[in-house]
Structure 1
Amino acid sequence: MRILHVNKFVYRRGGAEGYMLDVAALQREAGHEVELFGMEHPDTIEGLALRDTFPPEVELEPAPRGLAGVAASARMVWSLSSSHGMARALERFQPDVVHCHNIYHQLSPSVLAPVRRAGVRCVMTLHDYKLACPSYQMLDHGRLCDACVGASRLNAARRRCKSGSFAASALLSVESSIHRRLGAYDPVDVFISPSRFLADVMLRDGVAPERLAVINHFVEMPDVEPPAGGRDGFVFAGRLSHEKGVDTLIRAVAALAEPVWLHVAGDGPERDALEALASEVAPGRVRFHGRLDKPDLQALVASCVASVVPSRWNENQPLTILESYAAQVPAVVTGLGGMPELVRDGVDGLVVPMEDPTALAAALDSLRAAPARAAEMGRLGRERLSREFDAGLHLRRLEAVYRGEGTGVGTAVPAAREGRR
């Protein structure tokens, strides 16, 4: 099978890019012919056969000012360079299927029009809530919000959801409204959702059930050996931003009667504030590692009693939870988004309310005080991975969707109202 993966960035930048590159590698190993398409960027991986078809780079964070800003805004809605580049890539590679990922803004859904004209089957993995929420995260000034789901996208402008800015929020609202009115995503035959929660949001927003498939992500299963000296402390791995709830985790660690280490792996806009908070409420208990490469992060997670995902937003399917299980380490999470689908409370981890440092501290202390229980939870988590998140199983499910063998592959998507968006 000839597969063309499409994403705005074609280098290992975040979760969506990492997933795309890992899936592409698996598919090549399985004997498929795979190529990549995206936006030109200095960090784009070398040696791509279709790179000369890529549209030019546009910088949107921060957005340019003046006429450059107007041009960038127009490109978010519809990009002729992206459309023309995709047409050239399709003509040259002649794929059997186009698999899209994050195409918003830098590419725009303009890349889908040539796919439809070419008569090529198109699927799209949803890595966030962008199709139902103009600002991606279903947050209103840091609080959970679903005002735009199944309703006017102008709600995002009214609420100034994007960084509190009316101008930025209005731009995203107009962009989403135009795409919705034009049916810009109609060429997508099937949307792939990693979680039931995200699929339900799409159904509520009007995506027809026959266009949805729920397919779990996959994770590598390296051989692991428990540390000789036993596990100690807890770990958070991810972006240091408000919605991740790391401040709640620091306060929970501060509340523990028995001092334990909290390891924070990652970086982001809240790092300075979090380091200050840790120095104030939990001095000597929190270590900030910054970004770690994959082997070092795996080793860190494997050394800890549990990983913690204290998010205050609806996470989709965090790979950090799966990677924790791969290391036979349980996860402690808040009961939001797709996380309760991954963590069976009391079986392979613990589920706590969001923004409740007392409840989180109690959960952490219960695992610290019962290392055998924590180890058994981690073992059960890894056992579940081998059944439900295996790479080979993931590829077979993808191939079934590529061939048009129905939706709800692997996990049934509940029925919802009719209508094609």
Structure 2
Amino acid sequence: MRILHVNKFLYRRGGAEGYLLDLSELQRAAGHDVEYWGMDHPDNLPGLPLADTFAPHVELEPAPGGLAGLAASARMVWSPASGRGLARALDRFRPDVVHFHNVYHQLSPSVLRPVRARGITSVMTLHDYKLACPSYQMLSHGAVCERCVGGSTLNAVRERCKSGSLGASAVLALESGLHRRLHAYDAVDRFVSPSHFLREVMVRAGMAPERIVTLANVVSGGEEAPVPSPPAGPGAGARFVFAGRLSPEKGVDTLVRAVGGAPDGIGLDVAGDGPSRAELEALAAQVAPGRVHFHGRLDKAQVADLVRRSVAMVVPSRWYENQPMTILEAFAAATPVVATDLGGMPELVRDGVEGHLVPPNDAEALARVLGGLAADPDGARAMGSRARERFTAEFTGEVHLAGLAAVYDEARRASERGRAHTTTEG
């Protein structure tokens, strides 16, 4: 099968890109012909065959000002250049299926039109809540918010959900409102939701249930049995790990405060970068001096080494995480997970089984859990073993590819029915 993956970024930037690259590796190993299409970006993987057809590069964080800002806003709603570029890539590569990922803002739903026009099967993995929430996080000023789910996108303007900015929030509300009114994403044959929670949100937002299939994500390289690295007690320097983007919704500030309030000897390794890094480093120096090490962006092998040597992976998010790839990576490494009880995470981490669940924004509760795990290395190891068993049963490449093949087949049938209906009407 010839598969074209479409995502705005084509380098290991976050969970969506990690899934995209891992899935492509698995599909190629299974004998499929796989290529990428996205936005031109200096960090993209080198030597991509379709790079000359990519959408033009635009920076939206921070958003440009003046006329450039107006042009970027228009591009978020509809990007003719993106549609034309993907059309050229389709005619050159001739895929059997186009698998969309994060196309919002930099690419826009204009990329769906040439796929539908050519009668090519399309699937889209939902990595966040963008189709239900203009700012995609379902957060308003640090608190969980569901006002736009099934409601007006103007709520984003009233709440100033985007960085407290009236203008930026208005742009997002306009973008999402127009896309909803125009049914811009109806061109997708089937959507894949990595969690039941996200699927339920999308159904409440008006998406037909039969168009969404729940299929857990996958990480590659976890099929081999991990090399055990027993967690140490606090006296020997027990360390926990966070891996991900350093931005407010991730709740790393709560984790840093928890480490500062945990028993002596407990430390934290932070792998990742982002807009909150300087602020978090200053906070760590104040409340947990010498106990938090910021590594910056690491490659996959380096992150895996940190995870393997840690007592537990910590995912302290204050937003509705869908299905964090870091949790699956920890499970593959036989490492337990401490996560907040939000979004799709309770579907993965069962409290007391593969790790622990804690309330969001509660540094004291998190500190108690970290201290308990560090003081009981045998219990932590047992949780890690159960996490590994869960990974082997549910999240391997073999399991995921079988499920995705069924989704592709269902999407193909839906596409054929759609074309037959259009022909009959014509």
Please give the TM-score of this superposition, normalised by the length of structure 2: 0.91
Q: 2:153–2:173: 8 Å Cα contact kept in structure 1? A: yes
Tell me the SS of whatever aligns to 2:389. Answer: helix
Q: CA deviation at 1:230?
A: 4.3
Tell me the SS of whatever aligns to 1:404. Answer: helix
Structure 2 equivalent of residue 236 of structure 1? 242
Distance 1:113 1:321 in 2: 35
Q: CA deviation at 1:82?
A: 1.2
Per the alignment, do residues 313 and 297 of structure 1 end up closer, same or farther by CA in structure 2, a change over 3 Å counting?
Answer: same
Bigger mean CA deviation after superposition, 162-171 or 24-33:
24-33
Would you say 1:135 and 2:141 are equivalent positions?
Answer: no
Q: CA deviation at 1:208?
A: 0.6
Would you say 1:311 and 2:317 are equivalent positions?
Answer: yes
Aligned pairs (5 A) from 1:392-403 = 392-403=398-409
Per the alignment, do residues 406 and 308 of structure 1 end up closer, same or farther by CA in structure 2, a change over 3 Å counting?
Answer: farther
Distance 1:51 1:306 in 2: 39
Would you say 1:368 and 2:374 are equivalent positions?
Answer: yes
Q: 2:231–2:380: 8 Å Cα contact kept in structure 1? A: no
Distance 2:300 2:386 in 1: 23
Structure 2 equivalent of residue 208 of structure 1? 208
Distance 1:393 1:230 in 2: 33
Q: 1:210–1:406: 8 Å Cα contact kept in structure 2? A: no
Would you say 1:353 and 2:359 are equivalent positions?
Answer: yes
Distance 1:405 1:102 in 2: 19
Distance 2:26 2:300 in 1: 18
Q: 2:227 aligns with which of 225, 228, 235?
A: 225
Q: CA deviation at 1:108?
A: 0.4
Distance 2:230 2:203 in 1: 48
Q: CA deviation at 1:397?
A: 0.9
Q: CA deviation at 1:360?
A: 1.2
Distance 2:261 2:357 in 1: 18
Q: CA deviation at 1:308?
A: 1.0
Bigger mean CA deviation after superposition, 178-187 or 320-329:
320-329
Structure 1 equivalent of residue 108 of structure 2? 108
One-letter amino acid matched to 1:42: P
Distance 1:292 1:97 in 2: 32
Structure 2 equivalent of residue 151 of structure 1? 151
Per the alignment, do residues 241 and 113 of structure 1 end up closer, same or farther by CA in structure 2, a change over 3 Å counting?
Answer: same
Summarize deviations over 1:113-163 as a string: whole Å, max 9, x none: 111111111110011111111111111111110110011111111111001
Distance 2:195 2:141 in 1: 24
Structure 2 equivalent of residue 167 of structure 1? 167
Q: CA deviation at 1:74?
A: 1.1
Distance 2:195 2:55 in 1: 31
Per the alignment, do residues 228 and 214 of structure 1 end up closer, same or farther by CA in structure 2, a change over 3 Å counting?
Answer: closer
Alignment: residue pair count = 407
Bigger mean CA deviation after superposition, 220-229 or 367-376:
220-229
Distance 2:198 2:231 in 1: 40
Distance 2:361 2:41 in 1: 38
Q: 1:275 aligns with which of 271, 276, 281?
A: 281
* Higher percent of residues as helix: 2
Aligned pairs (5 A) from 1:12-91 = 12-91=12-91
Per the alignment, do residues 229 and 146 of structure 1 end up closer, same or farther by CA in structure 2, a change over 3 Å counting?
Answer: closer
Distance 1:400 1:156 in 2: 37
One-letter amino acid matched to 2:15: G
Structure 2 equivalent of residue 329 of structure 1? 335
Would you say 1:381 and 2:383 are equivalent positions?
Answer: no
Structure 2 equivalent of residue 418 of structure 1? none
One-letter amino acid matched to 1:349: G
Q: 1:328–1:378: 8 Å Cα contact kept in structure 2? A: yes
Bigger mean CA deviation after superposition, 268-277 or 150-159:
268-277
Unaligned runs of 5+ in 1: 408-421
Summarize deviations over 1:341-377 as a string: whole Å, max 9, x none: 1101101100111111221122112211211111010
Unaligned runs of 5+ in 2: 414-426
Structure 2 equivalent of residue 265 of structure 1? 271
Q: 2:121–2:411: 8 Å Cα contact kept in structure 1? A: no
Q: CA deviation at 1:228?
A: 6.8
Tell me the SS of whatever aligns to 1:3. Answer: strand
Would you say 1:287 and 2:332 are equivalent positions?
Answer: no
Q: CA deviation at 1:176?
A: 0.7
One-letter amino acid matched to 1:325: F
Q: 1:234–1:308: 8 Å Cα contact kept in structure 2? A: yes
Please give the TM-score of this superposition, normalised by the length of structure 1: 0.92
Structure 2 equivalent of residue 411 of structure 1? none
Distance 1:278 1:39 in 2: 36
Distance 2:91 2:367 in 1: 57
Structure 2 equivalent of residue 98 of structure 1? 98
Per the alignment, do residues 124 and 303 of structure 1 end up closer, same or farther by CA in structure 2, a change over 3 Å counting?
Answer: same
Q: 1:230–1:303: 8 Å Cα contact kept in structure 2? A: no
Per the alignment, do residues 214 and 374 of structure 1 end up closer, same or farther by CA in structure 2, a change over 3 Å counting?
Answer: same
* Superposition misfits of 4+ residues, deviation over 4 angstroms: 228-231
Tell me the SS of whatever aligns to 1:332. Answer: strand
